């Protein structure tokens, strides 16, 4: 049955009102989307300190592995995020981080070959490449900061990574975990250190 123009307009208006009422009756949908940005390892009992944006925690595994070696990890923090060419239709995502560590010896320490991987909310995110450091010597008790960069091609991302991209675009806090190795030479003897460092509930922003 065909509707006249007047009745047709009235019919569309009624449908729109019904859809609006349905949306109002289900406000939890938007909340569920935002909740997906929470790390799977996060718990409701997390302390207020653990939820601070700049909180840095070394995992228990990393503490055990580096307790007998002369290098201490201090922090792993994001410093920049850039969608190329823009966040609406990006071809690639570039994120930049700062890793800071300290020589624990009263003598110079040679270090080289940083090799790190990144995970975001327990989702593999690929390699972290040092843009300014491959080898060097830390003076006694000196602190060293290096820049690490990750390049993600959007077309090659997995569904799990695409969910994380949505979190990053909307500035939701995420957990960052750095894992990898670094060669050190205390007393001239080579040691390859397995390292893990987690920064919890941090927001990546452009700078």
Cα distances from 130 to residues 31, 64, 150, 177, in angstroms, run 37, 25, 9, 16
> For the chain, first and last CA: distance in Å?
60
pLDDT, tens digit, 9 for 90 and up, residues 39-62: 665 543 343 333 333 333 333 334
pLDDT at residue 59, as a whole number: 39
pLDDT, tens digit, 9 for 90 and up, residues 122-138: 999 999 999 888 999 99
What 3-state class would DSSP assign to 69? coil
The answer to whether the predicted template modeling score (pTM) of the entire model surpasses 0.75 is no
pLDDT at residue 131, as a whole number: 86
pLDDT at residue 9, as a whole number: 39
Cα distances from 32 to residues 29, 38, 168, in angstroms, run 5, 10, 16
pLDDT at residue 101, as a whole number: 94
pLDDT at residue 69, as a whole number: 72
Alpha carbon distance 188, 111 (integer Å): 10
Tell me the two tokens of residue 17. Answer: 């009102």
**Contacts of 203 by beta carbon, 8 Å cutoff, 6+ apart:** 53, 171, 172, 173, 174
Which residue stretches of the chain have pLDDT < 50?
A: 1-35, 43-67
Helix ranges restricted to H, the chain = 5-24, 28-35, 60-66, 159-169
pLDDT at residue 132, as a whole number: 87
pLDDT at residue 126, as a whole number: 97
pLDDT at residue 70, as a whole number: 87
pLDDT at residue 42, as a whole number: 52
């Amino acid at each position: 049955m065909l509707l006249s123009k007047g009745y047709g307009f009235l019919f569309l208006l009624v449908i729109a009102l019904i859809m609006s009422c349905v949306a109002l009756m289900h406000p939890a949908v938007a909340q569920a989307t935002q909740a997906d940005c929470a790390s799977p390892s996060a718990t409701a009992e997390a302390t207020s300190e653990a939820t601070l944006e700049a909180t840095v925690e070394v995992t228990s595994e990393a503490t055990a592995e580096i307790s007998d070696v002369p290098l201490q990890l201090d922090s792993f923090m994001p410093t920049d995020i850039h969608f190329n060419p823009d966040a609406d239709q990006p071809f690639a995502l570039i994120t930049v981080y700062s890793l800071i560590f300290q020589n624990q010896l009263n003598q110079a320490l040679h270090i080289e070959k940083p090799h790190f991987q990144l995970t975001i909310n327990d989702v593999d995110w690929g390699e972290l490449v040092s843009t300014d450091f491959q080898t060097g010597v830390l003076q006694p008790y000196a602190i060293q900061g290096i820049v690490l960069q990750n390049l993600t091609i959007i077309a090659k991302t997995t569904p799990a990574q695409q969910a994380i991209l949505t979190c990053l675009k909307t500035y939701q806090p995420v957990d960052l975990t750095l894992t990898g190795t670094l060669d050190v030479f205390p007393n001239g003897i080579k040691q390859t250190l397995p390292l893990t460092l987690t920064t919890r509930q941090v927001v990546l922003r452009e700078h």
